Homo-oligomer: A and B are copies of this chain.
């Protein structure tokens, strides 16, 4: 038996050494691949060509899937793997391309440049060769001077200050200066900008936090105000940084964000509040957790790692929003009787109605979340 064990150990060590050797070769090839990609980037940069090439990526994935099948490898596995490799390659490329500005030497004033989002955009513009000026709270006495000859004034202040700041800055702007804001509500600030400034105006809402590190594949909503043609370079610059641009009206934006931001964050907040009231043992529940619970609880925990005042601004932004949240609570109260009466049939009836209403989205959500759950299992 002991001899058998020794023989096994020897064999398995030999096999593992071979696997290690293969891994080493893969690693060298990845390094070579990275070098080649860098050459592509340099070339693109020289010819001013955008870095992200979706068609080339999908082509490559399709080809590799076919080749994988022939080599007795699982095509899904090969695709997963190359999504990781291409993402890394894209991040590196965008990183190197950031030096490239659509309109370098343009002068940009960032109002609220001491906030996280302001700093994030200041750094992006700066890296791309723009002349970036910052106006912080303490700088209002030199506002006139800071606004001199600027091509873009970008407002990055908290929601509740946006409209006041627009009024204060507008008189200093030249008629050709673009006035833009990054606020997460759009109707009121856009109206205010159009009132206060006769020149080009555009509203922007970047759908990500300043901690995301890059604009790669991030969504930026654009709500046009006036002279869209003259604002186009700004949109092009975001695209070059990797963003996906979604244009829409300010009104529609705000309606959709009532659901996408206010309702969702309030529901998450309320759930966290209840766990706190019940003093639920988070750590212990996690030991019992399927990946999906871990994910859902993570979504709650995540909220509370962030800035309370940001969320208060989003949730309390308008009267309509507060009404929507009151409606939400009313809707929950409608379930009380069902719980009281232990009425499972009513639950099933309601459930089936909702399922029907969600339609094919449910199946899609199932697929997407299953994909993510597998990623979670892989990692932890």
Contacts and interface: CB of A to CB of B under 8 A. Distances in A.
A280 B295 contact: no
A29 B18 CA distance: 11
A288 B255 CA distance: 11
Interface stretch (A67-75, A133-141, A226-234): A67-75
A274 B264 CA distance: 11
Identify the interface centre among A24, A26, A68, A73: most chain B CB within 10 Å of its CB. A26
Interface string A252-264: 0100110110011
A340 B326 contact: yes
A20 B37 CA distance: 11
Nearest to A353: B276
The contact size tier of chain A is 35 or more
A303 to B, nearest CB: 8
A72 B31 contact: yes
A32 interface: yes
Given A302-B369, A304-B354, A259 B275 contact: yes
Nearest to A17: B36
Nearest to A305: B362
A309 interface: yes
B354 A272 contact: yes
The 5 A-B pairs of least Cβ separation, nearest first, read: A301-B365, A305-B362, A308-B351, A304-B355, A298-B365
A222 to B, nearest CB: 12
Given A83-B379, A312-B344, A267 B271 contact: yes
Interface in A299-328: 299-302, 304-306, 308-309, 311-313, 315-316, 322, 324-328
Interface stretch (A7-15, A116-124, A188-196): A7-15
A28 B341 CA distance: 63
A221 interface: yes
A368 B313 CA distance: 26
Contact of A18 (B36, B64, B71, B352): B36
B67 A24 contact: yes
Given A31-B73, A246-B287, 18 more contacts: A12-B43, A12-B44, A22-B36, A26-B33, A27-B78, A28-B71, A246-B288, A256-B285, A264-B293, A273-B350, A278-B327, A279-B357, A292-B302, A295-B372, A305-B355, A308-B351, A325-B339, A329-B333
